[in-house]
Amino acid sequence: MSSSRSAGRGPGRPHAASRREVERTVIALLRRDGYDGVSVEQMVEAAGIGRTTFFRYFGSKAGVIWYAFDDTIEGLESRLRAAAPDADPLDAVRHAVVASNRAAVLSSDVWLERFRLLDSSPALRAGAYEHWERWKLAIARYLADRAGTTPQDPLVLATASACQGVFVADLRTWLSVGDTGEAFSERLDRNLATLTAALRALFPA
């Protein structure tokens, strides 16, 4: 009898949705109802997980939007650390930016969608500064190390900010045209190549 009941229960706990699966479900909900109109409880219910799992995955409501972008920054930092010592500094920056974003975009069909939500939520925009600063400083630290200066050097910061400006401009282009993640990556590569060619004299190899 005991074995019959065991067979009826199945092999154990039901499958727990992965963080990527939860992200996909929750971002679809946020796109439908707006970031400010959805509570954590509604996210948890839609994804079929518990609050403990939600906070383990994301840390907070805003973490649903930012965690994958922060992972992309870690990828950017890792690629810059791995750049060859004799690589052209600005080429290394371009390759690291494009590669880290391509890996993120192609690994998730909703990676870019978070930027639609950023444009529509004052609460998210208010918290965006620290994430964008971390992205910019990853580049500034690398360029400063190659140039033998500090990340606060005006030319270093200006160059990192210009790279960020291209990235944000290409995100806005994507928001308006809605093309593929691969097209976004190719456009980013082209525009960063144009920018870095113009700035190359500032950071000789």
Cβ count within 10 A of residue 20: 14
Residues 78 and 92 placed together within one structural domain of the fold? yes
Residue 109: band (very low, low, confident or very high) from pLDDT cuts 50, 70, 90:
confident
Residues 15 and 48 in one domain: yes
Digit-coded pLDDT (tens) for 134-148: 999 999 999 999 999
- Look at residues 45, 60, 75 and tell me which one is the last residue of a structural domain: 60
- What's the pTM? 0.86
- Name the token pair of 114: 């978070």
User: Who contacts 48 (Cβ-Cβ below 8 Å, separation ≥6)?
Assistant: 17
What is the identity of the amino acid at 198?
A: A
- Which token pair is 36? 């400010």
Helix 51-58 to helix 40-47 angle (10° resolution) is 100
Model pLDDT, residue 123: 86
DSSP 8-state class, residue 35: G
> Tell me: the pLDDT tens digits for 48-70?
999 999 999 999 999 999 999 99
Overall number of domains in the chain: 2
> Which residues form the domain of 145?
62-202
pLDDT band at residue 29, thresholds of 50, 70 and 90? Answer: very high
Judged by average pLDDT, the poorest of 16-30, 71-85, 154-168 is: 16-30
Report which DSSP code applies to 17: P
Of 41, 60, 79, the residue that ends a domain is: 60
| Pair 143, 189 in one domain | yes
